Structure 1
């Protein structure tokens, strides 16, 4: 396979991005990869990410009005232009200061600016364990009020929930 930039040398490096569940790949030869700064990803990752943002959205879409261009982060002094070049924020306050522009980027890349994904495994366990305790308390209240039909249903729910938790532990999903 030939390099997609020079069409001369054999491609030995593949750069891949995933945007909106679509994988975009580019095959480069060693020389073109070095020219693009891919020879040492750990030292060039911020520059690659910054360039990626600019290339993805286009030069004009990231240009801010003259009033907005003067905005700096109160926490670290970072400007939007600096973020655009490096792809990195300097502190947590940057996310609030540049949220308007960041939301535009996140919506374009991911289709949304809200995280709708899995919770960390430890958090899943806490929620499942909380649900189990809640059902047990309801079971206890049902028994005390002598509502035995409800108590039987809740007992089955406790058994099922406990079984699910044990299965998750056995499968290595929870610890």
Structure 2
């Protein structure tokens, strides 16, 4: 897509402006975006800059430098290299950098456990665990309200699901 203003360069900036419930979208090249007076700040950034910015917000920087840099034994990447490029070297880096990454992941994603969709074929065990947790919450409510027949039914259902989970 070409810049909507100059019609010469590719549009790499997308502006959305909403005034009095009227939405205006502009697709501009970087040069035209800088010249546009309506927009106060134009600061290009990358995802790597965003990630390393989150890392810089963490108070562990002094801690890391004082005790020595953690290093992934699988790929050899150290934590400062990760901070510089914003990407981990391999899947084992998550384990070796867990202490430094956990607060960042919690801050960005709101937790460290996956809560999104699970693929049907691959996530049978995870779906069963989630279903068991939901049933346990229902069981607790049934016990609190003294609905003992419902509680017994839920208990049996939980046991059956736990048996299925054990067979996986």
> What interval of TM-score do these two structures reach, taking the shorter chain for normalisation?
0.3 to 0.5
Q: Comparing both structures, which one devotes a greater share of its residues to helix?
A: 1
TM-score relative to the length of structure 2: 0.45
TM-score relative to the length of structure 1: 0.43
Higher relative contact order (CA 8 A, sep 6+): 1
